[in-house]
Amino acid sequence: MRGLVVRGVGTPPRVEKVELPATGPGQVRVAVRAAGVCHSDLSMVDGTIAAPYPLLLGHEAAGVVVEVGADVDRIAVGDHVVLDWAPPCRVCWYCGHGEPWLCERSGTPAATVGHTIDGEPLHVTLGLGALAEQVVVPQHAVVAVPPDLPFATDAVECVGRAATIRAAWRATRRGGQVIVVGMGGKDDMVALSALEIFHSARTLRSSVYGSSDPDRDVPELARAVLDGTLDLDFLVTDRITLNAAPEALARMARGEGARTVVLFD
């Protein structure tokens, strides 16, 4: 199968043939139908986020389950699904206290899954590597959605930058809240003076993975899309093939466009 692979910091990503492992117990194989091109992927290309290489990019996608392994009990072949890069374990302290988005065992930065065509161990972005024709993932990393939901409107993502956070802080009323929903770089520092923190009485906080339970909330969002109360189409500025994904990352680096979605046949 083909996927978008980067082999080192600053090297251009390219579409390569890769080999995924067989579908094991508790795993599912998903044929990807649409995948978002995200700033987090760009950060792994340019080294903003440290990652091992070679790395199969992509962590936002929707597709169809084509195979299930032994002991899979929450999903079936033919189900339409959204991939979850931070599946909660359901047993840690955070999951047990109603905060699965803070699960201490989720969000593997770059797991090793499969091989490149020349035999090197292949790492996959956030446990998924979704800018590829197929993925093999644990069953808890997929969430079923209605089959009539368009694949291109299944991944929503934001990016965090210090300048944007600072602008939001200035624009917020005294006593208001600024909620950061995107992930920024570790060296991109947000500067706030002690005086303005006291005087403004504002609250600055983050929202990790939407501070939501994907098993509960993704189906709700899907229903909102289908009944017309949530419009996601306007977020997508480009629909491309996998071969055009490297240029899409280059456009993103230049700050051009909004949302690019890779569509698979």
The structural domains of the chain, ordered by start, are 2-156+213-263 (3.90.180.10), 162-206 (no CATH)
The reported pLDDT for the residue numbered 111 is: 66
CA distances to 120, 139, 141 from 84, rounded to whole Å, are 26, 10, 5
Residue 193 — φ and ψ, nearest 5°?
Answer: -80, 150
Best CA proximity match to 138, nearest among 91, 78, 93, 89: 89
The reported pLDDT for the residue numbered 158 is: 59
- Residue numbers in the chain where pLDDT is lower than 50: none
Residue 196 — φ and ψ, nearest 5°?
Answer: -70, -30
The reported pLDDT for the residue numbered 165 is: 87
Beta strands 27-37 and 259-263 are: antiparallel
Strands (E), the chain: 2-6, 14-19, 27-37, 55-56, 61-68, 80-83, 110-116, 121-125, 134-138, 142-144, 177-180, 203-206, 236-240, 259-263
The reported pLDDT for the residue numbered 134 is: 96
| DSSP-based three-state secondary structure for 232 | coil
The reported pLDDT for the residue numbered 154 is: 55
The reported pLDDT for the residue numbered 14 is: 95
The reported pLDDT for the residue numbered 55 is: 94
- The tokens for 229 are 């109360």
pTM over 0.85? The answer is no
The reported pLDDT for the residue numbered 167 is: 87
